[in-house]
Amino acid sequence: MNYETKLLSTSEYDITYAAKLLADGEVVGIPTETVYGLAADAENEEAVKNIFKAKGRPQDNPLIVHIADISQLEEYVYDVPQLAYKLAEKFCPGPLTMVLPKKNRIPNVTSAGLDTVGIRIPYHPAARKLIQESGKALAAPSANLSGSPSPTTAMHVMNDMNGRIPAIVDGGSCPVGVESTVISFENGKIRLLRPGFISADELSEFSEVICDKHITEAAIEGEQVRSPGMKYKHYSPKANITIISGSREQYIDYVNSHGGDGIYAMPFSRDECYCRIPCIPYGDTSEEQASKLFAVLREFDDIGAKQVYAYCPFVDGVGLAVYNRLLRAAGFEIITL
Ligand code: AMP
Ligand code: MG
């Protein structure tokens, strides 16, 4: 792993170059509508091993496989319920990952030894072109070093992956900003394993949605989780993050009386003007907060923050995805005022 990492554009020439790298079994940083992915041929064991190496990802944390079209689904998985096709009609291409029983062509290293695999059809035009031109299903976890905030710009990927991979395709900022909604199917019901831009409410129009308890609760050591990502500390900047829950007025009073060296506030944007300690706001609506969250967490690292007090996001709709990521970034540390 000692590459001179090239920054590519989304020009036809550069996409063809990146697609060739992927077809040849290399690992490439790619834009998607959720976050940047670290992509490789999902069926090539060596290529997939190199994703784990580049990220420093635990071997038991499975990768999501990205395909170009729903018509390819049953090439990779079986026992697909009708419900999956109904959801796909509404949400695919888009930020929805469906966990289904995997066919043997998906190697165990990709599914981290599980007999299921998460499949997603990305909406982002560059991601779609790369899948089509390489002719490969692409395994792609988020393109950050394991444990760090996910990358939402090509520069974030460069900061983490420079020298570790041959190329990154720069497709601009990721519009959604948080990783895909991950679901599995249970007796005609939908189990929400990871909240994302597609919310439980939207899914519940199709069937009952069971929200896994580990979306908002830490797994106890050794506890069985349905989705391996639930047990890892995740999305963490170097600063200690604490979530503050209470009214906006209580939050402002709290941060204004807890200032000090390296201490920052992370308020809603409309409250920035009331903060008398340094702060980086993260938006007002849940959609805006989703798109900004990881970039803001990375900014705190760039300025050397030691302690960040974040105002608790909304916990409904897309807000649940923001809350889920922030909880993990904070190591589940919440102060309720
Ligand atoms: P990332 O690749 O960083 O977006 O993380 C993907 C996450 O999706 C993993 O950490 C898992 O929690 C979840 N996931 C992927 N595949 C499966 C699967 N087969 N079963 C359950 N969860 C999965
Ligand atoms: Mg990740």
Q: For the segment 290-306, what is each residue's pLDDT rounded down to a tens digit?
A: 999 999 999 999 999 99
Domains of the chain by range and CATH? 6-215 (3.90.870.10), 240-336 (3.40.50.11030)
Sign of CA dihedral 94, 95, 96, 100: positive
Number of residues that make up the chain: 337
Q: From 64, 100, 186, give the residue whose CB has the most ligand 1 atoms within 8 Å, as the site to mutate.
A: 64
Look at residue 193 and tell me whether its pLDDT is greater than 70. yes
Report pLDDT digits (tens) over 75-107.
Answer: 999 999 999 999 999 999 999 999 999 999 999
Residue type, 198: I
Sheet of 263-266, strands arranged across: 263-266, 307-311, 240-245, 334-336
- Ligand 1 surroundings by CB, under 6 angstroms: 61-64, 99, 111, 114, 116-118, 141-142, 179, 182, 193-194, 227-230
Spatial strand order of the sheet with 6-8 comes to: 6-8, 167-169, 28-30, 37-41, 138-139, 64-66, 116-120, 96-101, 181-186, 189-194, 209-211
Q: Whose CA is nearest to atom 21 of ligand 1?
A: 227
Q: Cα(233) to centroid of ligand 1, in Å? A: 14
Other beta carbons within 10 Å of 327: 23
Enter the pTM of the model: 0.96
The pLDDT tens digits of the residues spanning 110-165 come to 999 999 999 999 999 999 999 999 999 999 999 999 989 999 999 999 999 999 99
Q: Please tell me the distance from the alpha carbon of residue 62 to that of residue 222, in angstroms, as a whole number.
A: 18
Q: Which of 57, 59, 99, 144 to mutate to test the pocket of ligand 1 (most atoms within 8 A of CB)?
A: 99
Average pLDDT, the chain: 96
- Which residue of 34, 59, 178, 182 sits with most ligand 1 atoms within 8 Å of its CB, as the best mutation to test the pocket? 182
